[in-house]
A and B are shown apart, each in its own frame.
Chain A
Amino acid sequence: MTTTTWESDFTRGAKMPTGRFLRAYFTEAKYESVQMLRMPGFSIPFLLLPAALYLLFGVVLFGEALRSDPKSALFIFTGFDVMGVMGPGMFGFGITLAMEREQGLLALKRALPMPVGASLVAKMVMAMLFGVIVTATMFTAALTLGHLPLTGTQCVRLATVNALGALPFCALGLLLGTLTTARSSPAIINLLYLAMIYLSGFLIPLPKSIESIALASPAFYLDQLALSALGAPSYGAALTHMGVLAGVTLLPTALAIRRLARVG
């Protein structure tokens, strides 16, 4: 080893220049995304399943009927789209965080001078990136095989809703990831994921008698927001939906950060 590689001059400070600081966030986000994309058990279901299910139900099985019913066609499209947006945040955050806590990686990164929050921001970016890829596959499926007449404006609006809509589900995943063990987190997160999808009524309409239970599911608000982004009829005001989703983002995040700081 030469002295050029291991400088013995310790007058250099421990201050992090802004450029390197931003680079640390960027690098963390890059490798979090690369890591999840390379995990076929994660990337294939979350990236391709929504479009595949949409094609199955919206084209192969009910395509003929939906062609004369554009309202239902949009309903089915946004349903699978929202399902696609929820998954990466909840599972990507929840399961990997539970694992990283248990296997010492979180502790190592905290002992190393990882900027506070870089790991959480990285997972958020990863979930948003997955949301955008899901959107792209959904659009491709809808515009080519689904014959949905989506305009450019509609696409941009829905893509924005998808990217930001991933955040409340990141927050739920984050909270679950701090509370569960690596073994239990997949089961618990799956349960909540499926329950939210069912109770929101966006894939299978709920019986009239329990319809209002949908209001308790954050996924319902994202679905309504996605519908209104496409100009389709939706329940309630977009501002309310955003408010609820912002609350679902902030509250679990605050609880999780508090717990991570105290328990780790």
Chain B
Amino acid sequence: MPRLGDNMNNNCWAELAAVKKRFGKTVALDGVDMEVRHGELFALLGPNGAGKTTAISLLLGLRRPDAGSVRLFGKSPLEVEARRQIGVMMQEVALPPELRVRELIDLAASYYPAPLTPNAAMELTRTMPLAKRPYGRLSGGQKRQAQFAMAVVGRPKLLFLDEPTVGLDQQAREMVWAVLREVVRAGSSIVLTRHYLEEAEALADRVAVLAKGRVIASGTVSEMRAVVVRKRISCSSSLIAEDIGTWPGVESVRRDQQGLHIVTNNAEDVVRRLLAADGDLRELEVRRAGLAEAFAELTQEAA
């Protein structure tokens, strides 16, 4: 059910409501609801082809939905006034190789009413040493850093970052995360799209998982973890995997070179029984399924 901007919560800075979008016969988004609130880091996760890019391009005003509504600061994203409050870093974009990094940042700054100076943006993103280098002579990681500086120079309220740390070395990654933390602390919001999860797990306030054009799960990181209550037990034991597979609460058992791996929704009982059955059992490990695992399971179920 589409909601219109006039009754939209002021806290909600970007919203997709019941959005459908198809390309020819392919359904890219199939009734997606999503909102990004004031001052949060929102991670949109999903495998390639899940519809992440389509969802973002609708919010950026690059595409229009077939059905449903798309709002950016209560306005249509096609309005440039709405977009003056966003910064964007896209994954696949070729910037003019002849322009120097400072010039590209200056160009991006010119689009905004009250941007940072190029120097301030370069200090913030630690790209000052690249200032005079032509974009075409930068390494892949340096190009991403320059794009990141262009995304933040307008001091946007809402930053859209598509896989911002891909191709960055550890130091540059840490810079990106430090800046993002500051940006959120100062009250801006961030939308990240990612298909792998370690960093999102640590930083995101809320997560939505897209698969096959639908939001299959959304919530806080811990809510997401709770979606999958299963735990993983690993141990080194001589017990026979097929026998354990018949125990109550055991969903699957697998043996590899590291030992036995059991997935269960009742870890306590299974561990008790394991210890009772095998006095030589060693290297026992029980883990809550991490977001990465939750995510893998969720997206598999949708597939």
What is A's interface to B at a CB cutoff of 8 Å? 1, 3, 5-8, 10, 12-17, 20, 23-24, 26-28, 31, 34-35, 38-39, 99, 103-105, 107-108, 110-116, 264
Contacts and interface: CB of A to CB of B under 8 A. Distances in A.
Contact of B95 (A27, A39, A105): A105
A6 B182 contact: yes
Interface residues of B, number: 46
Nearest to B108: A112
B93 A107 contact: yes
Chain A interface mostly = loop
Contacts of B107: 27-28, 31
Given A7-B186, A14-B113, A115-B111, A110 B61 contact: yes
B124 A14 contact: no
Q: Is the interface of B mostly helix, strand, loop or mixed?
A: loop
Interface string B57-85: 10011100000000001000000111111
B229 interface: no
Interface stretch (B1-9, B28-36, B96-104, B202-210): B96-104
A263 to B, nearest CB: 11
B62 A14 contact: no
A14 B115 CA distance: 11
B83 A111 contact: yes
Q: Which 7 A-B pairs have the closest CB atoms?
A: A103-B94, A27-B110, A104-B93, A111-B60, A38-B98, A8-B186, A14-B84
A174 B82 CA distance: 28
A116 B79 CA distance: 10
B157 interface: yes
Contacts of B114: 7, 12
B260 interface: no
Given A104-B90, A264-B62, A27 B106 contact: yes
A116 B80 contact: yes
Nearest to A13: B113
Contacts of B92: 103-104
6 contacts: A14-B84, A34-B103, A35-B98, A108-B88, A111-B88, A113-B112
Interface string B11-33: 00000000000000000000000
Contacts of A38: 98, 134
Given A5-B124, A8-B187, A14-B81, A112 B99 contact: no
A24 B111 contact: yes
Nearest to A111: B60
Contacts of A23: 110
Interface in B171-188: 179, 182-183, 186-188
B88 A112 contact: yes
B290 to A, nearest CB: 30
A113 B80 contact: yes
A107 to B, nearest CB: 6
B147 to A, nearest CB: 9
Contacts of B87: 112
A122 to B, nearest CB: 10
Nearest to B153: A112
Nearest to B187: A8
B81 A15 contact: yes
A34 B86 CA distance: 27
Contacts of A12: 113-114
A107 B162 CA distance: 14
Contacts of B106: 27, 31
Interface in B142-170: 154-155, 157, 160
Contacts of A20: 110, 112-113
Contacts of A104: 90, 92-94
B84 A16 contact: yes
A125 to B, nearest CB: 14
Contacts of B154: 112-113
A10 to B, nearest CB: 6
B296 interface: no
B90 A108 contact: yes
Contacts of B111: 24, 112-115
B96 A108 contact: no
B128 interface: no
